[in-house]
Amino acid sequence: MTNMAKTSYQLPELPYAFDALEPVISAEIMQVHYEKHHKTYVANLNAALEKYHEAESKNDVAAMIALQQVIKFNGGGHINHSIFWTILAPVGHGGGPSGELMEMLERDFSSFDQFKEKFSSAAVGVQGSGWAWLGYSKAMKRLEIATCSNQDPLSTQGLIPVLGVDVWEHAYYLQYKNMRADYVKAIWQIFHWPNIEARFAKAII
Ligand code: MN3
């Protein structure tokens, strides 16, 4: 038992203050989203992994299988939100798409505006809770738009996340009520393109 790998995930530091993304995302939403939602995914992930390691040490495969769904949900929640915080920046600080990423967006979606339109309608169209992503397919060597239900990480679709938008109601409801389209329209003002481009650069290696 002493040499058993003990994994403990931590809530990553938010790279800006809760009110930094206003007026696009309110401080209240940021605080609840980060301190309650993300923190809970981390706590539940760690608790589930602890049970998983225990089941593993007892060779209890049935118990291990029973834990897979909770690990997927909370682990996915942790992965997704850890990406989400870093691809956002205060209005006027995120720059714009450029370089190789811009070239590939234009190649794969005809133009940046077409990408923006397709991505936005995918995000608005997610039924129930989930995420919209721009991901890179290593197999196809191209960018793709994909949506995921609940907290399924984009890797479940064989794509590397480049840019993602949380469209769970907890991400916008306190401010936008049921108007998800308004939230999705506004979020383009706070993308942090240097971070998004760095993810893309790493994905294409
Ligand atoms: Mn969320």
Dist. CA 41–CA 74, nearest whole Å: 5
Which fold, 99-203?
minor pseudopilin epsh fold (3.55.40)
Q: What is the pLDDT of residues 146-197, one digit of tens each?
A: 999 999 999 999 999 999 999 999 999 999 999 999 999 999 999 999 999 9
- Adjacent-strand bridge partners of 166: 131
Closest CA to 159 of 200, 198, 125: 200
Q: What is the pLDDT of residues 29-70, one digit of tens each?
A: 999 999 999 999 999 999 999 999 999 999 999 999 999 999
The answer to whether the beta carbons of residues 152 and 166 sit under 8 Å apart is no
> What architecture (CATH level 2) is domain 25-86?
Orthogonal Bundle (1.10)
> Residues of CATH 1.10.287.990 domain(s) within the chain?
25-86
Q: pLDDT value at position 2?
A: 43
Q: Which residues surround ligand 1, an ion (CB under 5 A)?
A: 166, 168
Q: Mean pLDDT throughout 123-128?
A: 98
Q: Is 140 exposed, middle or buried, given 0-12, 13-18 or 19+ CB atoms closer than 10 A?
A: exposed
Closest CA to 78 of 12, 140, 29: 12
Q: In the 8-state DSSP scheme, what is residue 11?
A: P
- Adjacent-strand bridge partners of 102: none
Q: Mean pLDDT throughout 78-91?
A: 98
> Residues of CATH 3.55.40.20 domain(s) within the chain?
99-203
Q: pLDDT value at position 5?
A: 56
In whole numbers, what is the pLDDT of the chain averaged over residues? 96
Q: What is the pLDDT of residues 12-28, one digit of tens each?
A: 999 999 999 999 999 99
Distance 159 CA to ligand 1 centre (A): 20
Q: Is the pLDDT of residue 124 over 90?
A: yes
Distance 52 CA to ligand 1 centre (A): 25
